A and B are shown apart, each in its own frame.
Chain A
Amino acid sequence: MSKHEIRSPLPGTFYRSSAPDVPPFKADGDAVSSSDAIGLIEVMKTFQEIQAGVAGGSIRFLVDNEEPVMAGQVIAEVEQ
Chain B
Amino acid sequence: MAIKVLHHGLATTVQDLGRPGYFHLGIPLGGAMDRYAMRAANLLVGNDEGSAGLEAVFLGPKLEFTEDAVVAVTGADMPAKVDGVEQPGWTAFSVRAGQTLTFDFLKSGARIYIAVAGGIDVPLALGSRSTYPIGALGGYKGRPLAAGDELPVGAANGSGEARSVAEQLRRLPAAPVALRVLPGLYWDRLSDEAKLSFFADEWKVAPEADRMGYRFRGGRKLSFVEREQPFGAGSDPSNIVDSCYPYGSIQVPGGTEPIILHRDAVSGGGYFMLGTVISADMDLIGQMQPHTPTRFVEVTMDEALAARAEENTRLEALRTSLR
Binding site for B on A (CB under 8 A): 7, 9-13, 42-46, 48, 68, 70-72
Contact = CB atoms under 8 A, between A and B. Distances in A.
Contact of B10 (A42, A44, A70): A44
A48 B10 contact: yes
Interface stretch (B21-29, B40-48, B202-210, B230-238): B202-210
Interface in B54-78: 57-59
Interface in B1-52: 10-11
Contact of A13 (B10, B57, B58, B207): B207
A11 B210 contact: no
A42 B291 CA distance: 12
Nearest to A68: B291
Nearest to B58: A10
Interface string B90-126: 0000000000000001110010000000000000000
| B interface SS class | loop
24 contacts: A7-B105, A9-B59, A9-B105, A10-B10, A11-B106, A11-B290, A12-B58, A12-B290, A13-B207, A13-B291, A42-B208, A43-B58, A43-B207, A44-B11, A44-B57, A44-B207, A44-B208, A44-B209, A48-B10, A68-B290, A71-B105, A72-B105, A72-B106, A72-B107
B289 interface: yes
Nearest to A70: B289
A7 B110 CA distance: 17
A10 B208 contact: no
A46 B208 CA distance: 8
Nearest to A11: B289
Contacts of B290: 11-13, 43, 68
A45 B208 contact: yes
B210 A45 contact: yes
